[in-house]
Amino acid sequence: MATEKVGIYRKYHGPIPTDRTGKPLPKSEWPRRRVFRWAVRWFGSDGKRYSKSFKTRKEAERFASEVQRRVCTRKADKPQDITLQQFRFEHGQVMKGQVAYATLDDQKRALKLFEKYIGGAILLSKIKPRHAEAFVAYRLTTVSSVATVNKDIRTLRRIFNLAIEPRGYLEDGQNPFTKIKERKTTDSEIRYVEPQECRALMENAASTWWQAFLSVAYGSGLRRNEILHLMWKNINFENQLIKVVARKRAKNILEWESKGHKNRIVPMSDETSQLLANLQLQAEEGFPYVFISAERFERIRERQRLGNWNPRCQVINNLDRSFQVIRCRASIDECVIHDLRRSAITNWAKRLPIHVVQRLAGHSDIRTTQRYYLAVQECDLEEAKALQSEILGSNLTDPKLTHSKTNGRFFGLKKKRYSA
């Protein structure tokens, strides 16, 4: 930031004026006799002096007040030059541990694609909105999913905001993706798993492990990793509650944190409680995890020691494939494991206020609950149809209410007569 107060000075140019005898005029006479402009000057934290000149004093004062504001907020230094490639490498280093592994992976992927398109040697300060627009147009021609392109826009907008604050490589308003609008898409239909479909899945499950897993997903609305990292000490059988909590790495514990970064408590049904109790009878005594076996835990530890394990690795191998085998055996329509969670949240929304559903689901934004998890069911459509008929008070197809020459009525309204 600047180390001295911002000042406004006259900046003279051209020859020094002289009197009639040819003698140079004193400086006190210069403002009236010598051509000048108004200059704003300040010092950066690097000790260098910076200045900018203006034609009028009013323009200089306006700029000086803006610089002074930036001095007070520690933003008055001239942005440092850095190439897009250098910025990408730096971003990958400084963001480790600040965001989730998957988030950082997406950010590095998007930056690499953008760098490949416009070149890594370009200075960050030279990237303009036209470059961002051209990149989006290119992605739309090479990627089949518009949602993927929208995700790239959001990701790169966030990254370039970080280049402004706190890193100071760009000035305010220089984010090239700020005004790039996301393309409109139609939201995918939410797959609601009916209770009888869930019953069919559980009846065709190959083991008590799978029955308990499906019951927790559909009955308590937990995410896949929340279920897999569930520990016996987090299950309250007496009150039929499940506690979702983050945990640090320990001797027999994997470091883990939920997607929403919040601890919460969710209910479980009588059937879920009984299935978990049955699973506990089969579990190894003293081992803390419900759905991770001791053998699998040791394999994970070994991969961690070898350095080839990351948070995106599957805690349980082939989970999706095994679920699809059960689904095909149960002869139900296409669905995935996460649809069980969506269906549980939809079931809660039938009886509970939306803010309660949000807390149980572990969403930080209620709009996420409303947009992605509340499915419209067939019974909802039937209720809407019945309500509409009730409001209208009659069936519009009733022949008694159609136009008739004998009574001169149309939908129960008298025909108006007009004089010639």
Whether residue 192 has pLDDT greater than 70? yes
Strands 241-244 and 264-267: antiparallel
Q: 132 with 176: CB under 8 angstroms?
A: yes
Band (393; pLDDT cuts 50, 70, 90): low
More confident of the two residues 180 and 406: 180
Whether residue 1 has pLDDT greater than 50? no
Band (399; pLDDT cuts 50, 70, 90): low
Band (384; pLDDT cuts 50, 70, 90): confident
- Mean pLDDT over 77-96 rounds to 87
Q: 269 with 218: CB under 8 angstroms?
A: no
Band (72; pLDDT cuts 50, 70, 90): low
Strands 7-12 and 241-244: unpaired
Share of the chain above pLDDT 90, in %: 50
Say what the pLDDT of residue 419 is.
43
| CA gap 333, 377 in Å, rounded | 15
Share of the chain above pLDDT 70, in %: 89
Q: 192 with 377: CB under 8 angstroms?
A: yes
Whether residue 418 has pLDDT greater than 60? no
Whether residue 63 has pLDDT greater than 90? no
120-162 pLDDT tens trace: 999 999 999 999 999 999 999 998 889 999 999 999 999 999 9
Burial class (CB in 10 A: 0-12, 13-18, 19+), 100: middle
Q: 219 with 193: CB under 8 angstroms?
A: no
| CA gap 240, 242 in Å, rounded | 7
Say what the pLDDT of residue 288 is.
94
Q: 204 with 180: CB under 8 angstroms?
A: no
User: Token digits for 54?
Assistant: 């203006």
Band (405; pLDDT cuts 50, 70, 90): very low
Q: Among 28-37, 264-273, 353-362, whose mean pLDDT is lowest?
A: 28-37
204-215 pLDDT tens trace: 998 999 999 999
Q: Among 171-185, 212-226, 322-336, whose mean pLDDT is lowest?
A: 171-185
| CA gap 402, 408 in Å, rounded | 10
Band (412; pLDDT cuts 50, 70, 90): very low
Say what the pLDDT of residue 373 is.
84
pTM of full prediction above 0.75: no
- Mean pLDDT over 380-409 rounds to 60
Say what the pLDDT of residue 414 is.
46
Whether residue 31 has pLDDT greater than 90? no
Say what the pLDDT of residue 74 is.
57
Instruction: Report the 10 Å Cβ neighbour count for 130.
Output: 9
Whether residue 314 has pLDDT greater than 90? no
Say what the pLDDT of residue 2 is.
46
Mean pLDDT across the chain: 85
Q: 115 with 85: CB under 8 angstroms?
A: yes
Band (397; pLDDT cuts 50, 70, 90): low
332-345: string of b/e by CB count within 10 Å (b at 16+)?
A: beebebebbbbbbb
Say what the pLDDT of residue 202 is.
94
Whether residue 264 has pLDDT greater than 70? yes
Say what the pLDDT of residue 327 is.
96
Band (416; pLDDT cuts 50, 70, 90): very low
What would the 3-class secondary structure string for the chain be?
A: CCCCCCEEEEEECCCCCECCCCCECCHHHHHHHCCEEEEEEEECCCCCEEEEEECCHHHHHHHHHHHHHHHHCCCCCCCCCCEHHHHHHHHHHHCECCECHHHHHHHHHHHHHHHHHHCCCCEHHHCCHHHHHHHHHHHHHHCCCHHHHHHHHHHHHHHHHHHHCCCCCCCCCCCCCCCCCCCCCCCCCCCCCCHHHHHHHHHCCCCHHHHHHHHHHHHHCCCHHHHHCCEHHHEECCCCEEEECCECCECCECCECCCCCCCEEEECCHHHHHHHHHHHHHCCCCCCECCCCHHHHHHHHHHHHHCCCCCCCCCCCCHHHHHHHHHHHHCCCCCCHHHHHHHHHHHHHCCCCHHHHHHHHCCCCHHHHHHHCCCCCHHHHHHHHHHHHHHHCCCCCCHHHCCCCCCCEECCEECCCCCC
Q: Which long-range contacts (CB under 8 A, 24 or more apart) does 128-131 make?
A: 128/176, 129/176, 129/177, 129/178, 129/179, 129/180, 131/176
Say what the pLDDT of residue 172 is.
83
Strand partners, 49: 43
More confident of the two residues 106 and 70: 106
Say what the pLDDT of residue 4 is.
58
| CA gap 77, 70 in Å, rounded | 9
